[in-house]
Amino acid sequence: MYNIVIIGAGVIGLSIAKAIGERTNDSVLIVEKEDSYGRGISSRNSEVIHSGIYYEPDSLKASYCKRGRELIYDFCSTNHVWMNKCGKLIVAKTHQIEDLEVLNENAKINGIRDVRIIDKKEIQHLEQNVDADLALYVGCAGIVSAHGLMTAFFKHSQTNDHDYLFKSRVVGAKQLSEGYELEIENANGEIEQVSCDWVINASGLESDLVAQMLGENFPSLKYSKGCYFKLGSKWRNVFKHLIYPLPDKALGSLGIHLTLDETQSVKLG
């Protein structure tokens, strides 16, 4: 019997575990179907600490992004997680100025500082190898080692005596008069029952299925797959900022962008 079971040990499940550990002495079990934490989307992304300039004003996404960014930078500094507040350039041609201005205005409404439109000369000063007429400079965007961040969250959770069940999949759930009973399948195909007061669904790509098991209504998922290409070592240390195009409205994506990692290697994707 646990107070709380968290389903999924990605960055969301781990950060929730950390937050619970800081606030309560509740007993916590984290159930993860893979053999370790961070094997899902959380280790297959651009590792960008977003600024929040894209999101609709007054939306939860806008406010969480802004607050979350500040918390991540603070957490990384105090916990020695690699990050780089390198800033980002959203590059454009002259005829795209209106789209840049819309983003710039949205950034202001969302209260994001250190954002401005810069001209070709300033772009060249910041990034010699970028050929663009205009750019939106976003100073507060950065990058983080996603795995480093998850490892730090995991360690915090462990110091609070949270239990982890890896190679274990939640396959069923029953709501009791008080709390839940979960069916958990281990690597040998055996099913174990665990009861708890609260269930936290942090199961990423399976969150809709888990929600169904729990009898909850859930919006349908919209899948997006990312493909990344690492450039050869001669490109190392060539770029200092994240470089993005204007968002691709037709695809609903941020567009193919350039990111850097801990070794200053360049990824496109």
Ligand X SMILES: Cc1cc2nc3c(=O)[nH]c(=O)nc-3n(C[C@H](O)[C@H](O)[C@H](O)COP(=O)(O)OP(=O)(O)OC[C@H]3O[C@@H](n4cnc5c(N)ncnc54)[C@H](O)[C@@H]3O)c2cc1C
Question: Which residues contribute to the site for ligand X (CB under 6 A)?
Answer: 7-13, 31-34, 39-42, 45-48, 50, 169-170, 202-206, 210, 224, 226
Q: Based on CB atoms, which residue is closest to ligand X, 115 or 194?
A: 194
Cβ at position 236, least distance to ligand X in Å: 20
Cβ at position 113, least distance to ligand X in Å: 19
CA distance 248 to 250: 6
CB 171 within 8 A of CB 193: no
Query: Which 3 state secondary structure label does DSSP give 231?
Result: coil
- Residue indicated by tokens 């840049």: 100
* Phi/psi-derived region of residue 157, left when phi > 0, alpha when psi is between -120 and 50, beta in every other case: alpha
Q: Residue 191: which of 205, 181, 177, 203 has the closest Cα?
A: 181
Q: Based on CB atoms, which residue is closest to ligand X, 158 or 212?
A: 212
CB 94 within 8 A of CB 133: yes
Cβ at position 255, least distance to ligand X in Å: 12
CB under 8 Å to 268, separation ≥6 — which residues?
Answer: 228, 229, 231, 256, 257, 258
Q: Based on CB atoms, which residue is closest to ligand X, 46 or 84?
A: 46
Q: Based on CB atoms, which residue is closest to ligand X, 13 or 104?
A: 13
User: Distance of alpha carbon 267 from its chain centroid, rounded?
Assistant: 17
Query: Which 3 state secondary structure label does DSSP give 162?
Result: coil
Cβ at position 197, least distance to ligand X in Å: 19
Cβ at position 7, least distance to ligand X in Å: 5
Q: Based on CB atoms, which residue is closest to ligand X, 45 or 175?
A: 45
Q: Based on CB atoms, which residue is closest to ligand X, 104 or 203?
A: 203
Cβ at position 95, least distance to ligand X in Å: 28
Q: Which amino acid is at 267?
A: K
